[in-house]
Amino acid sequence: MKLILRPFNKSDYSIVSKIYAEGIATNVATFETEIPNWIDWNKKYISQPRIVAVFEQTVVGFAVLSKISNRDVYKGVAEVSLYVAKHMRGYGIGKQLLLQLITESEANGFWTLQAGIFSANKVSIHLHESCGFRIVGTREKIGQLNNTWFDNILLERRSKLIGNTMKNILVLCTGNSCRSQMAHGYLNQFTKGKATIYSAGIETHGINPGAAAIMKEDGIDISNHTSNHVDEYADVDFDFIITVCDHANENCPYIPSKNAVRLHHNFFDPSKVLGSDDEKHQAFLKARSEIKDYFEDFVKTHLPSSKL
């Protein structure tokens, strides 16, 4: 198939809008139910890059980006929208469009792309994963379509070309529930956006409510974090891998980051403490204090450009 990928022109919108309508009709592509007029569509999407796929002189697909925020700190983060004409699906057009969009987004200074995809849209999820996106969580019942609530799978892709001095840090424990989540929260705060923080477990136990509560007392909200398995990050090249419990350190699976600095500290485990509410609170306070001090020192020692 001889496919041409070129920049979108205003004159393409009549066909693009029809392709978008076909996406709406699937009921798994978007929460939108109406086709926007040109003015509204043009306002919604970033001017560059906008790409169309052309086959036999006819537009058969398009890929565009939209802002996730007007804040300057997020100027390099955008959300992907990609649609292929119904009669041309299954020919690999979507992957060509997405790969080209990634290339052009990096040329335009975007360092992170994200996508929110209906959980039932397995084809689109697989497509994004095949182009370097990773699943970072599920937004449960994030929106309604035709009076039915739907989940969205949130995926993201971090550029390896832009800001490649940014460090990737993995914090690992048994269940990615308590100590690693608190460490994740403090590292996000202490590195001030100068590192990408991941936390994971060799199992997944969900977020410990006590950990979320004690971190909130210190002004850090980890309640929206997800509990992730370390295998989910097999494609990430880590600069630091930090285990925060002996069990994870002793049973850690192979992580293919040859140049990673590997550190270990067995932090006090507050989840094991039984007793009164006050005794449990004091246990989480003790663990939080240990973790905060350790990772504040870690940032000062290993990431001097991120000093507080």
Which positions are catalytic?
173, 245, 252
Q: Which residues of 244-277 are buried (b: 16+ CB within 10 A; e: fewer)?
A: bbebbbeeeeebebeebeeeebebbbbbebeeee
Q: Which residue has the tokens 């292929």?
A: 84
Report how far apart, in Å, the C-alpha atoms of 159 and of each of 58, 69, 153, 240 are: 31, 18, 20, 18
Instruction: Return all residues near 153 (Cβ < 8 A) that are at least 6 apart.
Output: 116, 117, 118, 119, 125, 135, 137, 138, 139
Query: Are 113 and 131 spatial neighbours (Cβ–Cβ below 8 Å)?
Result: no
CA distances from 89 to 58, 92, 128, 181, 237 (A): 14, 7, 15, 41, 33
- Secondary structure letter of residue 252 according to DSSP: P
| Amino acid identity, position 264 | H
